[in-house]
Amino acid sequence: MATQATGSSGTLDPTSGSVPPRRRAGLTQERSRDTRRRLVRTAMRLWTERGFETGIEDTTVDEIVAAAGVTKGTFYFHFARKEEILLELGYQTAALLYEEAARCIKAKRSIEDSLRKVTNTLAASVKATPPTAVGRAMSEFLRPRRPGDEPLARFPSFAQALEMLFVRAEEVGEVTDQVEPMEMAQLVQALYTDCLMEWSQGRLKRLNPALQRRTSIVLAGLRPGAAFPVPRDVVRR
């Protein structure tokens, strides 16, 4: 029986012809993801040590790659600018929300209970990050895209997780059928964004209660028969 080529560490060498092409591609992708995660962890550590108020500006790409043990070319393969690393905070949080939403749907939870759980997940994830970092990340998400920036559409968003919940809620009659589920999701996402910005700026002391209260207000307006005006020319068809 032929043996598979291994690297010096004893693991499969993805550059070897002995590894099936599909497996080789998977190993290469996993290695790339590991490198990306290492760059994010390293940058976040340096910025936290130096303080997010000035740490991002004071830390160079050369310092990040040296601490991460990768080349500068590798850095720019993953990120056009060091500020793009901040977007990873949002991507990771969105992924957590998506997973929680999927669990809620599988458990057939009500839209009220599901939104409460997803909002709890958001608050818990965000509060583990320095408020200044959250504010910088939100500003990075909201700024206009520049040529060469990584397209945000490649990654999950808060709205995608929320849309799953509203699609099911509409199917079981918990919310109106006069508004698209994605529009409902975008309303809650905007609410989340405003709360996070307020909290990061110190204008909101208790994040989770504010998120829960405002989400409940929006949900009340989306219930079947709720008294909210929808112009005839934009009523869902």
- Lowest-pLDDT choice from 52-56, 62-66, 97-101: 52-56
pTM of the shown model: 0.74
Q: How far is CA 99 from the centre of its chain?
A: 11
Second CATH level (architecture) for the domain 21-79: Orthogonal Bundle (1.10)
Per-residue pLDDT of 181-199, as tens digits, reads: 999 999 999 999 999 999 9
Cβ-proximal residues to 84 (8 Å cutoff; 6+ apart), any chain: 140, 149, 150
Supply the CATH classification number for the domain 86-234.
1.10.357.10
Extents of the domains making up the chain: 21-79, 86-234
Residues 167, 172: Cα–Cα separation, whole Å: 9
134: number of Cβ within 10 Å: 25
Tell me if domain 21-79 and domain 86-234 are identical in fold. Answer: no
State pLDDT tens for residues 15-26. 445 556 555 455
